[in-house]
Amino acid sequence: MEHKLGNTKLHPYLFTRHMWVMHHAAIRKYYIIRNRLLIQDRFPQFTEDYKRENMRLIFGVIFFEKQKLLKLRYLFKGYRDYKKNRFGKIR
């Protein structure tokens, strides 16, 4: 069985800098952001790492991914559901 984490690509930006971007489906981005925020609450030692990773996720969507609006909408839904303490399947 072959397993891949999305369609990972290395994207250049700012001359010599590069960034790995995971081209996940919008629904996966919803669960990633929602669950990272929950983990930050429960395990404060991960807060700085997850803040950085969440910013990279948003930056990657805005600058390098297709379906930007859809994916940003799902990221916002994930944040909203986290704030409303909604977990389980997406509504």
Q: What is the pLDDT of residues 22-36, one digit of tens each?
A: 888 999 999 999 999
For the chain, the domains span 26-83
- The string of DSSP codes covering 29-82 is HHHHHHHHHHHHHH-GGGHHHHHHHHHHHHHHHHHH-SSHHHHHHHHHHHHHHH
Res 76 pLDDT > 80: yes
pTM, to two decimals:
0.82
